[in-house]
Chain A
């Protein structure tokens, strides 16, 4: 399976799970702000990806959990800005996310923009070896 094929299937999953139009699902679209995903939607996306790609997604492997603990730890976030230790922690929990833009201005309130359609595509590509 090529990356493009994976992306097309991921697009279909997000259209079904989030009730959005196909045109809205672009590689850089953020799940929360652009596509309106809420907490239950992340579980729905996991279920649909597992079924669509015949893979198993262990809890927390695709969508990190308990990020509130990271946000509230002064070692990781100081005055609303993610510290270098905090960035390392985010990267450890979200290995399929591109942090290059976020690193230029690591405001913690922008952390929600980190989870994009590309995050999911990157994860699935790694899982299925595309």
Chain B
């Protein structure tokens, strides 16, 4: 199973904001782990979907040169559950961006209804304060993430 919690971008404004969509299906194993006989998307995976949306936005802001990792969930408030058949929208914006990292915030919605409000921070781990070193290649932005953005940018009718 791939660790990807967003299906496509529907909006992307570099260094500013991004919106993605994820369709929830009963076939997803993780929905069945929380409550017996009542599948829901766990809150942790809503946070992960938002983090992937915001993380790609932050990574693209510096041309994917930085290893961007989720470092802090400052706030996460949940208003309703997400069920199979729902379509989730993750809308993230960059509040502040620097050499060392970024702070982001945004909303998670389903069919216009507010599901969650999240604020989170990302770190550019190669720019860490302690001078720690990490592998040279960018292990964060694998093809599965960069292809999502390429797909959005190349959107339009695909000739078959």
Contacts and interface: CB of A to CB of B under 8 A. Distances in A.
Given A68-B130, A68-B131, A43 B101 contact: yes
> How many B residues are at the interface, by size bracket?
10 to 19
A43 B130 contact: no
A46 B121 CA distance: 12
Nearest to A66: B131
B140 interface: no
Counting chain B CB atoms within 10 Å of each CB, the highest count among A43, A59, A65, A68 belongs to A43
B128 interface: yes
A43 B123 contact: yes
A25 to B, nearest CB: 17
B146 interface: no
A44 B74 CA distance: 9
Contacts of B128: 39
Contacts of B101: 40, 43
B72 A41 contact: yes
A98 to B, nearest CB: 22
B23 interface: no
Nearest to A41: B72
Contacts of A43: 71, 98, 100-101, 121, 123
16 contacts: A17-B74, A39-B128, A40-B72, A40-B101, A42-B129, A43-B71, A43-B98, A44-B72, A47-B98, A51-B96, A59-B98, A59-B99, A65-B131, A66-B129, A68-B131, A69-B131
Interface of A: 17, 39-44, 46-47, 50-51, 59, 63, 65-66, 68-69
Given A39-B130, A43-B123, A47-B96, 8 more contacts: A40-B71, A43-B71, A43-B100, A43-B121, A47-B98, A47-B103, A66-B130, A66-B131
